[in-house]
Amino acid sequence: MQFAGEIKKLLQKAGVKGETDLSIPPNPAMGDFAFACFNLAKESGANPKATAESLRVKLENLKSGIVEKIEVAGPYVNFFLDTGAIAKLAISDVLKKGKKFGVGEKQKEKVMVEYSQPNTHKEFHIGHFRNVCIGSVLVNLFRSSGYKVISANYIGDIGAHVAKCLWYIKKYQKIVPPTNKGEWLGQMYVEASRAIEENPELKSEAQETQQKLEAGDKELIKLWKETKQWSLQEFKKIYDLLDVKFDAWFYESEVEKPGKNMIGELLKSAVAKTGEGGAVIVDLKEFGLETFLILKSDGTSLYATKDLALAKLKFEKYKIDKSIVVVDSRQSFYFKQLFKTLELAGWKKDLKCVAYEFVRLPEGAMASRTGNVVLFWELYHDVFVSVLKEIKSRHANWKLKIIEKTASRIALSAMKFDMLKHAADKVVIFDKKSALSFDGFTGPYVLYAVARINSILKKARFKGILKEGYELLSAPEEKRLVLMLANFRQVVNEALEQYNPSTVARYCFDLAQQFNDFYNKHSVLKADNKNLIKARLALSASVKQVLENALSLLIIETVEEM
């Protein structure tokens, strides 16, 4: 249901070759779609205004049912669509397809999206939360665009950070608390980092622990296995709350050996060589990618050691066509090095690194060491409490169970929306005050519009699709809603093309805002006549449906009432 597509066809019929890109006029009074004639005029050598006028004359004879009027404004040809006609097409399409409205045609490609990648033995803060949000929305965007998708997680369960944490617990004989062990481990890691920062000579002790661990020290392995589970349980608790699911789980520990084997092969084939102190490196200077370190001089592994093997494992085990990794942009240079190395090794696959910018606080970058960090649970708790208070003041008669369930959904909508409303490639400056605000460009604002619509539909007992009467929709606010509904698929496409969930978040807000505008200017239930009431009910139901579809891409659930 894309009206822009219809107009493009018209333009082609009228003899326009090449670009038929349309834009939206700055003011709705000027038209619903616009075609700029600059390029066309350039080709023919005529001036743009005259070109626009002669194009209009040609189009006039070809006009189809949905085009009501064509006007020329300077170098632009502006199209006005017939509100009743597009309303009928768009609304019936939305109501007929329901949840499937906006889903694209099946694609052959199988894509793996790897995201979250938390490190065990570390804290889970809102930077990790942003990764989960962006990654899971990308998964949804691919799915909704018809791709087969495997969502993958890659757990950092070994490496220097694990060793550091275990070393600290053992050395200072820390007592394990009975609950929240995962969080406690994160705390231990922070303390360990601090201890080493204060006494740099302790670093060698932690390194020794890593060597022992990688060599298979029994006692350490036992402690590692036990503690690792605590972190994993912690992560799963968070994923459950966020309603995020993974089809594939990879662990650094399972690709460490294959990684080391690969290093051997790379040395043999002379892709890699031995560098300072016996470390293994790949010289990428001729590609402007500096030197890539893939094995430490003490023989222990690095991220790179394992990532080399992981890339292969993904394709072999899951028969995918494309592999996407969602990572903090601070790692994007590293991934360039990694991909180049794989290419030099003769392994050419469709590998993509989607980099998103990190979350920082107004005081500066988040750092556990200095305490300048906002943990996931801390944020959830604060937002939840704030929503809870709000609901209690509005609905004194609600049962506690209902209040808590509603509060949780609203809180999550606020948090997720807050993370997704910024373009992925922009640094987010996290401000607690605005995270706790539920007005304006926020999740709760969108949920509120849905709740309002629910309330109307419930009162009217609206069900189903209308056979006729859509032509009664004629107000400009109604027309804009219809145009926006029809544009949903296009929005999803754009978001996927740019790997940018914020496009969808913005759309949700714009649609909700447009509905509120309509709502305040026109009454649905008290419209002039029965048929208009029905038509407006159908329009409202479609808006609700599309908002729900769009929000579900953002892993946000709506509430019946709030």
Partner RNA sequence: GCCUCCGUAGUUCAACGGAUAGAAUAUCAGGCUUCGAACCUGAAGAUAGGGGUUCGAUUCCCUUCGGAGGCACCA
Number of residues near RNA (by CB under 7 A): 91
Strands (E), 290-393: 291-295, 322-328, 350-356, 359-361, 364-365
CB of 224 to RNA, least distance (A): 14
Query: How far apart, in whole angstroms, are the C-alpha atoms of residue 289 and residue 84?
Result: 58
| Cβ neighbours, 10 Å, residue 177 | 10
403-422 binders of RNA (CB under 7 A) = 410, 421-422
Give least dist CB 377 to RNA, A: 20
Nearer to RNA, 139 or 294 (CB): 294
Q: For tokens 């009928």, what's the residue?
A: 88
Tell me the closest approach of the beta carbon of residue 307 to RNA, in angstroms.
Answer: 9
CA distance 540 to 450: 9
CB of 104 to RNA, least distance (A): 20
CB of 243 to RNA, least distance (A): 19
Query: Could you give the CA distance from residue 281 to residue 276 in angstroms, rounded to a whole number?
Result: 9
Under the binding rule (CB under 7 A), the answer on residue 370 touching RNA is no
Distance CA 455, CA 562 (A): 10
The residues in 434-473 that bind RNA, with binding defined as CB under 7 A, are 434, 437-442, 444-445, 448, 451-452, 454-456, 459
Q: Which stretch binds RNA (CB under 7 A): 9-17, 54-62, 106-114, 297-305?
A: 297-305
Q: Applying CB under 7 A, does 382 fall inside the site for RNA? A: no
Helix (H, G, I), strand (E, B) or coil at 152: strand
- Residues 154-193 binding RNA (CB under 7 A) are 156, 159-161
Please report, as residue ranges, which positions from 234 to 273 form the binding site for RNA (by CB under 7 A): none
Site for RNA in 505-544 (CB under 7 A): 506, 509, 513, 516-517, 519-520, 522-526
Tokens of 198: 């204060």
| CB atoms inside a 10 Å sphere around CB 480 | 19
Is 275 a residue that touches RNA (CB under 7 A)?
Answer: yes
241/427 with CB nearer RNA: 427
Choices 177-185, 230-238, 239-247, 285-293; region in contact with RNA by CB under 7 A: 285-293
Which residues 6+ apart lie within 8 Å of 196 measured at CB? 164, 202, 203, 206
The nearer residue to RNA, 10 or 111, going by C-beta atoms, is: 10
Residues 1-30 that bind RNA (CB under 7 A): 21, 23, 25-27, 30
User: Is residue 40 within 8 Å of 50, Cβ to Cβ?
Assistant: no
Interacting positions 69-108 with RNA (CB under 7 A) = 73-76, 78
For residue 297, give the DSSP letter.
T
Q: Considering only 221-229, 286-294, 312-320, 461-469, which stretch makes contact with RNA by CB under 7 A?
A: 286-294
Please tell me whether residue 385 binds RNA under the rule CB under 7 A. no
Question: How near is the Cβ of 332 to RNA at its closest, in Å?
Answer: 7
Question: What residues between 195 and 214 interact with RNA by CB under 7 A?
Answer: 207
Residues 55-74 that bind RNA (CB under 7 A): 73-74
294 phi and psi angles, rounded to 5 deg: -120, -10
Q: Minimal distance in Å, beta carbon 433 to RNA?
A: 8
> If phi over 0 gives left and psi between -120 and 50 gives alpha, with beta otherwise, what is residue 464?
left
Handedness of CA 363, 367, 371, 374 (dihedral sign): positive
Mask of contacts with RNA, 475-504, x by CB under 7 A? ---------------------------x--
Backbone angles phi, psi at 354, to 5 degrees: -95, 110
Give Cα separations from 447 to 222, 424, 451 (angstroms).
Answer: 47, 23, 6
Q: What is the CB neighbour count within 10 angstroms for residue 393?
A: 8
Task: Quickly count: other Cβ atoms within 10 Å of residue 375's Cβ.
Answer: 18
| 265 neighbors 404 (Cβ within 8 angstroms) | no
Residue 187 or 207: which CB sits closer to RNA? 207
Binding status of residue 561 toward RNA by CB under 7 A:
yes
